[in-house]
Structure 1
């Protein structure tokens, strides 16, 4: 089925999406683009990718369409709007949303797509700008196994850990698990560095000692050095992480479970966003203590 997917649409060319689109093009696919600000996509257009003025125009000519945008409201509009992907795509088109979004919305999109003879997957990712740039993302997929197998060769161009987690919505639920784990871990990483600095320790030496031990984590190895260097530019935006934590807390409430660690992390992130750090990277949480 891989050979039937020639023309690939990509919607959302931000910090991660730009690299992901390049990997798909390098894999031999004809790339079609849409993003709200055309100028931001110009470097990709210079590589020969094809621009469309609306998501619907893009969907009408593509065999598969990937999306990675900001918020569930964006996803809903792009997929379910009157001129969106579901309304405009040709029968048999694959629609893969890689945004971190609501599990219930993923199910709604799956059902709407199925009614039109389309194939939808929810496939959120983890790994940030580094994972996107290195084609090393973890991709968590929800949907039908046959559809997953059909698009897996494309997913493999963007990630190294690509797994089907279950039916529609399962990819989004898995991403919530990921974000819950990251949230409390990020609090711990920042508190540890605050403690180390207050104790007068050399932060680079501290990281060398602890990152290969029991305290080791992706955030400690990849984001703590940025904190030490004073570089708080985003690999993943604070404002988007707050959105993700809100989705997870809402889903937890629906399931009748209490997540106090996540609730605390959300409160801390809300504080730094209110201080004007919403467009910084998630490791900017360190600034809370400053």
Structure 2
């Protein structure tokens, strides 16, 4: 599943952290056990891409996790809810000038219900979401579901303030989503060549993403494949895209086998000459 880099940054202020009720500081981390809905990108949005076929599709995209010094000492039952889905979607739209709409209620079901168990000895569990969809309906809008942690059956656990909600957006899989053999030749501020095997997931129909910049710098890169045969590149400091490195494309091309793009960042200080071949 694609992990999408969309707003609602994880650095939102949480007064409970400041008050040492829980959080990332050492004292709170030692003494509290936090239940949260994390994402690899550090945002509050996950993108689940689907192949538009008229059949049920199972997504395993929503992870429920325990943030604590030690793994779970017992089975932990966490109850999720969709009761706040419209609120979560509306808040995201307002903050990001978005156009998400609620997933039609008759087009999905949750496999096994909304109660999940983090097993003893583990730190997380991923719940399967069974989606029954009509491709024509889903392709007409930007559909999403907003999940929230409702409660924890066992005592002694706190629900995260920042990470109690998660928005899942459902997007038709891009034709450019694939596994690639990826080579980047970096010149300018540094001289290096990197080789990677990467999966580049869907952002939208014409755009895929990649963790890291050139396989050398931490960050996040987007590649948009334009109708005129060129590629537009976005390079950012992190998955929230709040800091841009100002990527400028020098040359680019693509075909069914992959793509080539040469671009600069930081005012031309670094140049990346990249070739990606579908595996």
TM-score by length of 2: 0.26
Asked which structure has the greater RCO (Cα within 8 Å, sep 6+), the reply is 2
Larger relative helix fraction: 1
More strand by share: 2
TM-score by length of 1: 0.25
